[in-house]
Amino acid sequence: MRRSPLVSLVLLASVAGSARAAFIFEIDTDGLDDGPISYNPGFSFGGDTTTASSSITSLAFGCSGADAIFGGDGVNLPDTYLYEYAPDSLADNLVVPIGQDLGEGNVGTGVTGGDAGQYRVYATWGFTENVSGGDTTYEVSTAGDFFSIALDQNGRGDAWIYLGTIDYTSGSIMVTQYCEINSFVSMRAYGLLFEKVPAPASLGLLGLAAAVSRRRRAE
């Protein structure tokens, strides 16, 4: 039986809206905002940083409610956090419907990752107004591509803050986060979100599918 284009779009929206379509990287993997941290195996400290303090969770979409971290014990080098994510070996672990509000005006693509393509990279932390380490820098790299962004964490948090887009081919995506000045609350971190960007031709189709799905739910 041949389906109409409208039915196909609705089916597309339904499938995309329920599939695992992003990878959330939480530093603490125990799901509890309780102080003790069960560190993600893809997380480590860099420079001469060896530890950090536990902090309040982030309320961003998809977060489990685990601990965040802040500061560090860096002395001669900036407090530094390291993350490693390999899309081709770590399956998506978070359902992000098309158009899902991620905070700060960002919305989910609903596209399944795990293969080559462009990935949007986001960071989150619990809302804060007391980071005293100056701007926090994120350096994101993978085979053949790199970007860096420095931002003020104060007055922000509990949302997925867009860092940039990386062109992934294979291997790992590496993220280095570091402060400008070591201090008690030099910076904060809960985790990262990686979501694949749809191909240009698919972007409009997915957007139309989401609109059709919303209209049908409203009827």
Can you give the CATH number for the domain in which 144 is found? 2.60.120.260
Structural domain includes residue 212: no
Structural domain includes residue 180: yes
What's the domain count of the chain?
Answer: 1
Structural domain includes residue 17: no
Q: Which domain holds residue 159?
A: 22-200
Compute the CA torsion angle 151, 157, 160, 162 (nearest 10 deg).
-10
pTM, two decimals, is: 0.85
Structural domain includes residue 32: yes
Q: What is the pLDDT along the chain (219 residues), one digit of tens a residue?
A: 444 443 333 334 444 445 779 999 999 999 999 999 999 999 999 999 999 999 999 999 999 999 999 999 999 999 999 999 999 999 999 999 999 999 999 999 999 999 999 999 999 999 999 999 999 999 999 999 999 999 999 999 999 999 999 999 999 999 999 999 999 999 999 999 999 999 875 445 455 544 544 454 455
